[in-house]
């Protein structure tokens, strides 16, 4: 029985193959008006509407599938673009930071080249690493200390001018009282002219040159520098360090001294690199 079934199947397959070959031969050999081509035309007429209907009914599903694929592709591209933007942002930030540091260093070198500081003075470069949390004191902590030769009362400058003085020292850090602090006092003079006084800070951060004789002629826009003359042993600040510019001059007839508002050259909001004047 099994052999007969196998034989029948083989005979059916052979007949189908022969019919297929015969139909293909007839199709290719006959003219356009032949039987095979006519049958093909009839089948197409019957099937075409069904194909069109099927295509229309499945179009929303195909569109949804394509939309989902495009969405996932767009999200993937968006993630890649976001990563590239983040990398570019980090690179730009690093470049800007490096450029700002280079500008500060060039400004400090320029100040040193003005030959303000006497021979034997050494400038130790440091960075501000901490600021006070209270508004009543204007101080900063820098990352150089006694290991680098820093001492209490050493002057601190940057490329713009006078920053303050060292008031506390550890091995690898130092506390700096800024000139805008209410406990800061610096001997200063107005240039040109040489009118002298004491520069003091305040709670609000304003800086004034006090005790300037009212007979001294001081004008808005003049520079204020350290005079280097106060105290029995002289000033802790070298003569000629830039401090700021005169903003206003207050003078009343009943007073003996002028009160001169000074705008510091140093931008204390952006204080970063500094140099300690180590004698």
Cα separation, 213 vs 259, in Å, equals 9
Cα separation, 143 vs 216, in Å, equals 41
Highest mean pLDDT among 6-10, 70-74, 136-140, 194-198: 194-198
Which residues fall within 8 angstroms of residue 268, CB to CB, at 6 or more apart? 138, 163, 178, 180, 205
Distances (CA, A) of 197 to 105, 138, 212, 234, 271: 31, 21, 5, 14, 26
Per-residue pLDDT reduced to its tens digit, 92-144: 666 666 666 666 667 666 666 667 777 778 889 999 998 875 655 688 999 99
pLDDT at 76: 72
Q: Is the CA virtual torsion 202, 206, 209, 215 positive or negative?
A: negative
Cα separation, 26 vs 34, in Å, equals 9
pLDDT at 119: 79
Confidence of residue 220 (pLDDT cuts 50, 70, 90): very high
Cα separation, 78 vs 72, in Å, equals 10
Rounded average pLDDT over 174-178 = 94
pLDDT at 175: 94
Q: Check residues 262 and 46 and name the one with the higher pLDDT.
A: 262
In the 8-state DSSP scheme, what is residue 274?
E
For residue 128, the Cα-to-chain-centroid distance in whole angstroms is 18
In the 8-state DSSP scheme, what is residue 254?
T
Rounded to 5°, angle at Cα 236 from 221 and 146: 125
Rounded average pLDDT over 173-202 = 91
Q: Judge contact between 260 and 218, C-beta under 8 A.
A: yes
pLDDT-above-70 percentage for the chain: 64
pLDDT at 44: 55
Tally Cβ neighbours within 10 Å of residue 94: 10
Residue 232 has pLDDT above 60, yes or no: no
Tally Cβ neighbours within 10 Å of residue 158: 23
Q: Which of 5-14, 41-50, 204-213 has the lowest mean pLDDT?
A: 41-50
pLDDT-above-90 percentage for the chain: 32
Q: What is the reported pTM?
A: 0.62
pLDDT at 40: 58
pLDDT at 42: 58
Tokens (6 digits) for 267? 């931008």
Tokens (6 digits) for 126? 């440091």
Query: Which residues, in sequence order, are bridge partners of residue 212?
Result: 258
Rounded average pLDDT over 178-196 = 91
In the 8-state DSSP scheme, what is residue 238?
P
Residue 217 has pLDDT above 70, yes or no: yes
pLDDT at 204: 87
Residue 8 has pLDDT above 80, yes or no: no
pLDDT at 2: 66
Per-residue pLDDT reduced to its tens digit, 41-94: 655 565 456 556 665 666 676 666 677 666 667 767 777 777 777 777 766 666
Domains along the chain with CATH numbers? 2-63 (no CATH), 114-279 (2.40.10.340)
């Amino acid at each position: 029985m099994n052999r007969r079934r196998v034989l029948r199947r083989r005979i059916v397959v052979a007949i189908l193959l022969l019919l297929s070959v015969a139909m293909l031969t007839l199709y290719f050999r006959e003219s356009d008006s032949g039987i095979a081509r006519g049958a093909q035309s009839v089948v197409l007429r019957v099937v075409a509407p069904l194909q069109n209907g099927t295509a229309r009914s499945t179009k929303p599903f195909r569109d949804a599938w394509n939309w989902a694929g495009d969405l996932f592709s767009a999200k993937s591209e968006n993630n890649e673009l976001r990563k590239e933007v983040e990398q570019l942002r980090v690179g730009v930030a690093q470049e800007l930071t490096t450029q700002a540091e280079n500008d500060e260093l060039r400004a400090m070198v320029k100040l040193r080249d003005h030959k303000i500081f006497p021979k034997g003075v050494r400038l130790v470069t440091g960075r501000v690493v901490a600021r006070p949390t209270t508004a009543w004191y204007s101080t900063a902590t820098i990352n150089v200390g006694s290991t680098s030769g820093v001492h209490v009362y050493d002057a601190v400058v940057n490329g713009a001018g006078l920053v303050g003085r060292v008031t506390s020292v550890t091995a690898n850090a130092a506390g700096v009282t800024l000139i805008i602090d209410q406990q800061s006092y610096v001997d200063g003079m107005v240039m040109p002219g040489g009118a002298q006084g004491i520069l003091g800070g305040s709670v609000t951060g304003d800086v004034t040159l006090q005790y300037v004789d009212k007979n001294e002629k001081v004008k808005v826009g003049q520079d204020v520098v350290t005079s280097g003359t106060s105290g029995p042993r002289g000033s802790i600040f070298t003569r000629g360090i830039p401090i700021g510019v005169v903003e206003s001059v207050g003078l009343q007839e009943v007073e003996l001294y002028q009160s001169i508002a000074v705008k510091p050259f140093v931008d204390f909001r952006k204080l970063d690199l500094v140099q300690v004047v180590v004698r």
